[in-house]
Structure 1
């Protein structure tokens, strides 16, 4: 435990509140985290962690700017691949997977970090994550809607849930609020209330253990259609909007059918102001940028591990670490893709200059994400190919037979007993090999599934770019059409101007002829009058 002042605790709490790894901790575990972390001040040029070193601490950034450097094998100097600006965290992979640091983090300015040592990190974070997964997997198995999920999908969903507790009468969801997620009831009862036409609230239903609430507003992108209150003490598992959209795809049809039976989702959508839109855009963009950096770091670690497969350094622990970091990076890629699509869903800003800025940021993030994703896919395929070759080799080796007694043979009882023992030992060893083989085949199937996920992301990105290109082409066509119309208008104006000049000349000529004729007639009449 590291003593802290009230001011330090407040600063630390603000720094860690958005860290993904801490989201599943309850109040007491969060206090344990705050107690365990210690402050580290850094100066410009100081290296916080070095690529290749053993992981000692996990860091949360409170302030300062930092650069990320990766030195590929054979390169003369490290290359800058990204950075952090007054937020974010790093160093967790080395602690989670007992692997060397994948990158170097160097301070560019004076800054402040909060650190947690390896032992405390593994005791609090990893132990809690395992317990939470098992607890929530059991809860999700009791939800009928989730029967369509595969076991690994249910496991991912369990990892994304965050525990929340409400006391009797406390409001969980308020009618008219924006939807930030949905809830699964772990223990207790929730009362659903709705007010219509400025009348008092009336109860419309209750939700008990194994039920869920809050999904309708997420499906319709509209404000909450009803309020939810705790009846007694209620324990809930919260799933935020991003995880909802990423993980519950197979269950969408079930929820939409239920939504069609609910007439209450007709409220107007909430529109953010310009400042809120800009803040939300930059928040999502920063999250995408951070994820891309982490993907690039993980790819470097995976490349190093893949090169060790099939060599004397190839061990079960190495393969387990490779599978873990690969699956973790695959989830990062999905989250990043979801966030990238969220940028396109934001309402366009009113300012033309802000529109141009958003467009440039989107293009840059898409290019960076595509580059990182391409490197990730390449190392995925290399890993899959190596694993398939190893499984093929292991299958060939597993074809050896066992010792058998010759028909009609006579054996000494002691020798026969020894033969039985050898057979039993051989069977046990073969069973262990077969179990390992089955585990490796399962890992290969998971890896191939993750590769398909990345392929789908590439397809979605291509569709996104194509659709944006069509919009741009449409704009250019409209601009060209407008240009042609303007040109035709100028030609018509020029013709009108020429006609107007010609008309003016004709008028002057006729007036001159008329005056001349009048003058001649006047002179003739005057001459006759004199005679």
Structure 2
């Protein structure tokens, strides 16, 4: 599913709560949560199929399911990662929206880590298959060479001709074609592992950038707090000065009243 199709689904997905500060954001994150749930289910199925690889229940059908799940899940992570990046870059998010952003990113990171482990396990089991098949072909060649060499000495060229004539060429060709196919699958898985590592780095860079923004905000808050504290001290100083000036004024008025009283008494008594 491409991200364009994901966007079209977003418009059809209602908010699960019935209320949201931003309906478009709620639609996007709801769709991303649904996709992440699907990817997690894919990983569970993938691990179940990988458990069969290398056992008696192993078959081309099982390996085909593994390849399909790897491809589908890898493509799904590409789309969901773009969606999470879009959600993380949403302008003016509320506190609830920020919580949803962090939750989505944590879910994405955890799911990708689980898928990365499944990819590595698939690559390892495929390498084991290739090595075992090559060893089987080599042992068959050695066995034919021994059978032909028993009882008589045959020139090397004749031995090679006889081995080629006696070999079940169709079976050898089939095994070799499987080896080529498996080696190509290993290369695809290794490319997927590298791609997922790049996504991890992108998410890490995004988190670092957001951390720097949070540090700037925290610094600004600390600066405002310091300015507020300084202003509070200045206001307290001004209030103290004003109170002191008021006390001095009261004392001055009291002295003037006493002097005026003395003068009036002197006049009336004189």
TM tier, shorter chain? 0.7 to 0.9
Q: CA deviation at 1:348?
A: 2.4
Cα distance change, pair 310–332 in 1 and its aligned pair in 2 (3 A): same
2:112 equivalent to 1:373: yes
Alignment of 1:5-84 (within 5 A): none
- Measured against aligned partners, the alpha-carbon deviations of 1:133-181 in whole angstroms (never above 9, x if no partner) come to xxxxxxxxxxxxxxxxxxxxxxxxxxxxxxxxxxxxxxxxxxxxxxxxx
Q: Distance in 2 between matches of 1:437 and 1:85?
A: 49
Q: Which residue of 2 aligns with 1:364?
A: 103
Quote the offset at 1:520 in angstroms. 4.3
Tell me by how many angstroms 1:427 deviates. 3.9
2: CA distance, partners of 1:457 / 1:421: 49
Deviation for aligned residue 1:329: 0.3
Q: CA deviation at 1:344?
A: 2.5
TM-score, normalization: structure 2?
Answer: 0.78
Out of 232, 251, 264, which is 1:509 matched to?
A: 251
Shift of 1:486: 1.8
Q: Is the 8 A contact 2:35 2:80 kept in 1?
A: yes
Q: Which residue of 2 aligns with 1:302?
A: 46
Q: What per-residue deviation string (whole Å, max 9, x for no partner) do you get for residues 250-303 of structure 1?
A: xxxxxxxxxxxxxxxxxxxxxxxxx9x933312321221121111111111111
- Tell me: CA distance 1:372–1:337, structure 2 relative to 1, closer, same or farther (3 Å): same
Instruction: Find the counterpart in structure 1 of residue 183 from structure 2.
Output: 441
Give ranges in structure 1 of 5+ residues lacking alignment.
1-17, 24-62, 64-83, 88-274, 350-354, 411-416
Aligned-pair CA distance for 1:314: 1.2
The Cα shift of 1:421 comes to 7.3
Counterparts of 1:344-359 in structure 2 under 5 Å?
A: 344-348=88-92, 355-359=94-98
Check conservation: 2:15, 2:27, Cα contact below 8 A. no
CA distance in 2, matches of 1:422, 1:429: 13
Residue among 154, 162, 181 paired with 1:406: 154
More helix by share: 2
Distance change (3 Å), C-alpha of 1:504 and 1:463? same
Q: CA shift at 1:518, angstroms? A: 4.6
Quote the offset at 1:375 in angstroms.
1.9
CA distance, structure 1, for counterparts of residue 230 and residue 39 of structure 2: 54
328, 339, 344: which is aligned to 2:72? Answer: 328
Q: Matched residues in 1 for 2:114 and 2:252: separation? A: 84
**Residues 1:278 and 2:44 aligned together:** no
> What residue number does 1:130 align with?
none
Looking at structure 1, the residues matched to 42 and 156 of structure 2 have their Cα atoms a distance apart, in angstroms, of 62
Task: String of CA shifts for 1:444-497, please: whole Å, max 9, x gaps.
Answer: 110111112222222222222333233233323322322232222222211111
CA offset digits 1:71-92 (Å, max 9, x no partner): xxxxxxxxxxxxx9799xxxxx
Instruction: Identify unmatched segments of 5+ residues in structure 2.
Output: none
Provide the C-alpha distance between the structure 1 equivalents of 2:4 and 2:220, rounded to a whole number of angstroms.
46
Q: What is the alpha-carbon distance in structure 1 between the residues aligned to residue 180 and residue 173 of structure 2?
A: 10
Find the counterpart in structure 1 of residue 87 from structure 2.
343
Query: CA 1:464/1:409 → structure 2, altered by over 3 Å: closer, same or farther?
Result: closer
Q: Tell me how far 1:514 sits from its aligned partner.
A: 3.3
Task: Tell me which structure has the larger Cα radius of gyration.
Answer: 2
Deviates more, 1:400-409 or 1:434-443: 400-409
Task: For residues 366-408 of structure 1, give each alpha carbon's deviation from its aligned partner in whole angstroms, at most 9, with x where no partner exists.
Answer: 2222222222122222111111222222233333436578129
- Asked if 1:456 corresponds to 2:195, the answer is no
Matched, 1:474 2:216: yes
Residue aligned with 1:398, SS:
helix
The two structures have a TM-score, normalised by structure 1, of: 0.42
Relative to 1, partners in 2 of residues 1:457 and 1:408: Cα closer, same or farther, differing over 3 Å?
closer
Is the partner of 2:91 in helix, strand or coil? coil
Q: Which has the higher contact order (CA 8 A, sep 6+)?
A: 2
How far apart, in 1, do the equivalents of 2:76 and 2:59 lie? 26
Q: Distance in 2 between matches of 1:359 and 1:85?
A: 19
What is the aligned length?
A: 250
In the alignment, the residues of structure 2 paired with residue 381 and residue 86 of structure 1 have an alpha-carbon distance, to the nearest angstrom, of: 37
Q: Which one has the bigger strand percentage? A: 1
